[in-house]
């Protein structure tokens, strides 16, 4: 699960089990409540980190104004994790590369190209460092729940955002929360919301990542939605990647 950046390890799914129940006299039927499904979260995360992957996506959204729409496509690839050592500490390192572009209906093109190096705890698969050069994110220690069940919600992680790997200038903080929704009889939908705040605790970026996880621990990306907020709190930039 881009979890993405945790989002990438965020394996989202929907669990909807419908059953007919007899109605009084009229013979009508109504959907039964969705069945509760439990999936192995840590298995899904380990699979996503230890195996290489590539996903094509299409782009929609807007830029500066809702009337200036975005359209385009791209590809996100992730390497299989390899052993890495930083300052004497062992990690699993995975590199995410995104390529693509989005056309702006009012004119111009936005590049979607980016590279991120992610470092994980080799025992728990929790994210420790996300190195995008600027920003550079260091996560507070945490562990994932071993399983997720329909209806679960909570917080995955918190962290500090720095301007560089020197970690001398903190520029903000990040939180990652989750909600588990129904999908089908053998999978759940996981929605992960990642919020980035500046040093005044003002929300600047929000990313909502959706994917599915089945009972075998297989994750499938659905989409990610990113809002970039202005100082006034409006969202002049909204980008959706649909996988």
Specify if 178 maps to a domain: yes
Task: Give the pLDDT score at 106.
Answer: 93
Q: 153 is in which domain, residue-wise?
A: 38-242
Candidates 233, 230, 224; CA nearest to 61 is 224
Work out how many domains the chain is built from and give that number: 1
pLDDT at 44: 98
60 assigned to some structural domain? yes
pLDDT at residue 33 in the model: 55
Instruction: With respect to residue 25, please indicate whether it lies within any of the assigned structural domains.
Output: no
Residue 166: predicted pLDDT: 95
**Cα–Cα distances in angstroms (integers) from residue 218 to residues 10, 128, 168, 213, in the given order:** 11, 23, 39, 5
111, 103 contact by CB (below 8 A): no
- For residue 29, is it within any domain? no
Judge whether 32 lies within some domain.
no
pLDDT given at position 34:
64
Q: Quick check: is 183 in a domain?
A: yes
> Residue 196 falls within a domain, yes or no?
yes
Average pLDDT for consecutive 10-residue bins of the chain (243 residues)? 32 22 41 79 97 97 90 98 97 98 95 96 98 94 98 98 96 98 98 97 96 98 94 81 97
């Amino acid at each position: 699960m881009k979890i993405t950046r945790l989002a990438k390890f965020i394996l989202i799914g929907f669990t909807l089990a419908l059953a007919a129940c007899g109605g009084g006299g009229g013979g009508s039927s109504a959907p039964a409540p969705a069945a509760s499904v439990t999936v192995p979260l840590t298995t899904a995360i380990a699979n996503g980190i230890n195996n290489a992957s590539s996903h094509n996506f299409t782009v929609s959204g807007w830029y500066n104004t809702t009337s200036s729409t975005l359209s385009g496509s791209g590809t996100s690839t992730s390497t299989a994790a390899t052993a890495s050592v930083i300052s004497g500490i062992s990690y699993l390192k995975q590199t995410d590369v995104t390529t693509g572009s989005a056309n702006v209906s009012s004119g111009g093109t936005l590049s979607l190209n980016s590279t991120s190096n992610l470092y994980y705890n080799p025992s728990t698969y929790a994210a420790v460092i996300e190195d995008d050069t600027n920003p550079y994110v260091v996560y507070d220690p945490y562990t994932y729940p071993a399983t997720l069940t329909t209806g679960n919600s909570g917080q995955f992680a918190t962290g500090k955002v720095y301007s560089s790997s020197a970690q001398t200038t903190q520029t903000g903080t990040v939180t990652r929360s989750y909600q588990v929704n129904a999908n089908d009889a053998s999978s759940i939908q996981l929605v992960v919301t990642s919020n980035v705040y500046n040093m005044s605790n003002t929300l600047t970026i929000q990313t909502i990542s959706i994917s599915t996880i089945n009972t075998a621990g297989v994750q499938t990306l659905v989409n990610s939605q990113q809002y970039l907020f202005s100082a006034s709190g409006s969202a002049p930039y909204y980008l959706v990647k649909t996988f």
